[in-house]
């Protein structure tokens, strides 16, 4: 069975850097992390485009949008009522720190993940994405593709996000850049391997996969 360090090295050697998260600002990452939940990136990207045209991703402008307008702008991402509420809740929380992410990190320190989870609408996966891509922490993000990969590798406890997260420890040598890259590699491998796009370059883990 492949350990996490070896899996990372194999993925990186075959796929190279993924240059994630695809965004020009941290606010765009935050919005994308919320909008992509339970949908594909194409739908989330269209919602992001609408938000950019209307607000230029200025968090104060987003907070000043009326409820119906925000829902309309992000409708393509699905579950738009819940996502609109989550966006407003998280931006209002960050506004208390003047959107100073370093200040947020210093204030909460080791309790940052718990603090994120206390924001209404923020679940485990979104919290971990924010830890890695906004607050530059080291965290394992066992999203649906990652759980499918680990299951194929013969790991137990892959049936839920929290169970696999508790079961897998990232190497102590992992930096934030490694955590960022590892998540991106797993996600992009999963998209190509499990969606009928497993061209030859995406079958290099076959020998490690269990039937």
pLDDT (0 to 100) of residue 199? 64
Does the structure show a pLDDT above 80 at 209? Answer: yes
Q: State the residue for tokens 């930096």.
A: 175
Nearest C-alpha neighbor of 30 from the set 1, 55, 3, 5? 55
Nearest C-alpha neighbor of 167 from the set 182, 157, 152, 177? 157
pLDDT (0 to 100) of residue 197? 64
- Kindly state the average pLDDT of the residues 193-209: 82
**Residue 61, CA atoms < 13 Å, CB-side half-sphere:** 9
pLDDT (0 to 100) of residue 1? 83
pLDDT (0 to 100) of residue 195? 82
pLDDT tens per residue, range 141-192: 999 999 999 999 999 999 999 999 999 999 999 999 999 999 999 999 999 9
pLDDT tens per residue, range 31-50: 999 999 999 999 999 999 99
Is the CB of residue 34 less than 8 Å from the CB of residue 83?
yes
Distance CA 111, CA 25 (A): 24
Helices (H), the chain: 4-15, 26-35, 41-55, 59-64, 67-73, 80-95, 101-108, 112-117, 124-133, 144-152, 161-167, 176-193
Query: Does the N-terminal peptide bond of residue 21 adopt cis geometry, omega within 30 degrees of 0?
Result: yes
pLDDT (0 to 100) of residue 181? 98
pLDDT (0 to 100) of residue 22? 85
Entry pTM: 0.94
pLDDT (0 to 100) of residue 198? 61
pLDDT (0 to 100) of residue 73? 97
Higher pLDDT, 104 or 201: 104
pLDDT tens per residue, range 55-78: 999 999 999 999 999 999 999 999
């Amino acid at each position: 069975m492949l350990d996490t360090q070896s899996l990372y090295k194999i993925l990186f050697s075959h796929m190279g850097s993924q240059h994630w998260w695809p965004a020009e600002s941290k606010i765009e990452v935050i919005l994308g992390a919320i909008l992509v939940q339970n949908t594909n990136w194409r739908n989330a990207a269209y919602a992001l485009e609408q938000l950019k045209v209307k607000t230029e991703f200025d968090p104060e402008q987003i907070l000043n949008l009326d409820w119906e307008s925000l829902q309309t702008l992000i409708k393509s991402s699905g579950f738009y009522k819940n996502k609109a509420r989550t966006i407003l809740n998280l931006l209002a929380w960050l506004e208390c720190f003047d959107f100073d992410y370093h200040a947020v990190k210093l204030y909460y320190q080791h309790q940052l993940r718990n603090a994120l989870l206390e924001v209404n609408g923020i679940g485990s996966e979104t919290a971990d994405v924010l830890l890695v891509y906004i607050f530059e922490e080291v965290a394992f993000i066992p999203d649906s593709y990652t759980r499918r990969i680990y299951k194929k590798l013969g790991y137990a406890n892959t049936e839920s996000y929290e169970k696999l997260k508790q079961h897998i420890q990232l190497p102590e040598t992992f930096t934030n850049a490694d955590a960022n890259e590892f998540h991106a590699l797993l996600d992009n491998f999963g998209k190509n391997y499990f969606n009928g796009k497993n061209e030859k370059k995406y079958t290099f883990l076959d020998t490690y996969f269990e039937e």
